[in-house]
């Protein structure tokens, strides 16, 4: 492909380090889509004859069918997917294949291919997140009234509802989804026609190729179009945040499914056994999801490091942009699908959730709020009185609702029997009616809002 400039071929080691066909063959469909759009535009502009354009179109379809059918022979000597496709096209259609590369470079070609591929991965992530959100909403709807402990520092804090906990992750994954949607809009500019770096002297129609490939517009600066990979970095950054959210939920599922908690039972479909301990049922899917962020974050850091010192425009360093993105996308898609499956299949152990909800003096804040609301006590004083009552209950080996009224009077004589109305976990969650609170009525309102949004 170098023409007459080089008298000898590359060293075997140079060929090995230079070739990318081992991984960029994943861009075959995108490369052929881009070439078909480019050929059609060249013909429409009179740069290519209609007969040559038709031969190229049919030839490219033949190449695609060979690749998809597994009969295509990829060559390392041809370096990358672009030259492999072009070489095979020449074998099929002859001379017209040599005209396809008019008014473009591999620089704008690869940027276009990669953008098309990353855009598809963003769409896949959006679909995966939507399915996961729907699974979480299903769990929330079933358990809008079920009480469970809410934690801070992994210590019992206040009672919440199962539905409220599920909807917390709906909100997190919704933000992930919106980040993918936002990044997709920003990246949807077509590099094709930027050529090597300076554009081209041929009278091309970049708006036509952009439209044909589903882009909103052509990129406005040819140097920028071929030299940046921020669209891939945005994908990886968003994927990293999403993987972090998946990891947090996976950690909770690992804890909740343990013998010490027994909050949930995970289905056999997403669990494994032990080779030596017959009783074991391990939450391996959750554990593997928890680990996926390492690969995805690593890909993000790797590509940032590749790009950080590159002058304009294209440098061969940028060939290192794809493998980590491919790996991250594969693993994010797998993690989303596995989490959706686990959520749909898991069973909440309602009795265990409710028993745990009342432990650890979880209604202490309700008691303090009652002192403020009924006795007009300053909150700091109420906090102190409640703390003393918690200490008393702890010393007596009981929970707050188990203290007698005389016990409470030993700390504050103004407390009345009405206080017991706020010490039950169901009363506690029902009272949290502030917008976004854990009250079942609020949870159902959020479920309705999200069901309408996703519909």
By annotation, the residues acting in catalysis are 153, 274
**Cα(333)–Cα(454) distance, integer angstroms:** 20
Strand ranges (E), 8-103? none
Task: With beta carbons less than 8 A apart as the criterion, state whether 379 and 372 touch.
Answer: yes
Helix, strand, or coil (residue 118): helix
Distance CA 232, CA 223 (A): 17
| DSSP class per residue in 182-221 | HHHHHH-EE-TT-TTTT--SS---HHHHHHHTT-SEE-S-
For residues 284 and 126, give the distance between their C-alpha atoms in angstroms, rounded to a whole number: 25
Token pair of 441 as six digits? 């009525």
Q: Are 345 and 267 in contact (CB under 8 A)?
A: yes
Spatial contact of 443 and 164, defined as CB atoms under 8 Å apart: yes
What whole-number distance in Å separates Cα of residue 112 and Cα of residue 127?
23
Backbone angles phi, psi at 157, to 5 degrees: -115, -70
- End-to-end Cα, the chain, rounded Å: 52
Is the C-alpha dihedral spanning 132, 138, 142, 147 positive or negative? positive
3 backbone dihedrals φ, ψ, rounded to 5°: 65, -135
């Amino acid at each position: 492909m170098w023409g007459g400039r080089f008298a000898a071929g590359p060293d075997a080691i140079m060929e090995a380090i230079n070739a990318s066909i081992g991984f960029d063959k994943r861009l075959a469909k995108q490369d052929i889509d881009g070439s078909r759009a480019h050929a059609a535009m060249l013909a429409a502009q009179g740069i290519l004859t209609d007969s040559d354009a038709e031969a190229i179109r049919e030839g490219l379809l033949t190449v695609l069918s060979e690749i998809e059918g597994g009969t295509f022979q990829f060559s390392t000597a041809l370096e990358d997917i672009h030259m492999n496709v072009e070489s095979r096209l020449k074998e099929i259609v002859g001379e017209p294949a040599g005209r396809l590369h008019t008014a473009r470079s591999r620089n704008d070609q690869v940027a276009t291919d990669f953008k098309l591929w990353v855009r598809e991965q963003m769409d896949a992530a959006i679909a995966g997140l939507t399915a996961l959100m729907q699974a979480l909403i299903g769990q929330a709807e079933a358990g809008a009234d079920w009480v469970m402990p809410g934690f801070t520092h992994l210590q019992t804090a206040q009672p919440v509802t199962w539905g409220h906990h599920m909807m917390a992750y709906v909100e997190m994954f919704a933000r992930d989804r919106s980040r993918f949607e936002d990044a997709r809009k920003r990246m949807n500019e077509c590099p094709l026609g930027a050529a090597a770096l300076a554009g081209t002297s041929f009278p091309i129609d970049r708006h036509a190729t952009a439209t044909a490939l589903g882009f909103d517009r052509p990129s406005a600066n040819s140097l920028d179009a071929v030299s940046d990979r921020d669209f891939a970095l945005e994908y990886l950054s968003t994927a990293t945040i999403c993987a972090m959210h998946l990891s947090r939920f996976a950690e909770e599922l690992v804890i909740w499914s343990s013998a010490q908690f027994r909050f949930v039972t995970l289905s056999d479909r997403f669990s494994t056994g032990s080779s030596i301990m017959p009783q074991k049922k391990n939450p391996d899917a959750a554990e593997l999801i928890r680990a996926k962020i390492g690969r995805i974050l690593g890909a993000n850091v790797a590509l940032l490091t590749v790009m950080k010192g590159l002058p304009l425009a294209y440098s061969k360093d940028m060939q290192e942009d794809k493998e980590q993105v491919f790996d991250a996308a594969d693993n994010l898609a797998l993690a989303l699908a596995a989490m959706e499956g686990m959520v749909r299949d898991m069973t909440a152990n309602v009795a265990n959730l409710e028993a745990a909800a009342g432990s650890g003096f979880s209604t202490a804040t309700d008691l303090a709020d009652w002192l403020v609301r009924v006795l007009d006590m300053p909150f700091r004083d109420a906090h102190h009185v409640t703390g003393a009552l918690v200490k008393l209950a702890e010393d007596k080996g009981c929970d707050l609702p188990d203290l007698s009224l005389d016990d409470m009077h030993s700390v504050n004589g103004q407390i009345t029997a009405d206080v017991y109305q706020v010490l039950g976990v169901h009363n506690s969650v029902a009272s949290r009616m502030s917008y976004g609170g854990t009250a079942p009525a609020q949870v159902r309102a959020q479920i309705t809002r999200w069901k309408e949004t996703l519909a």
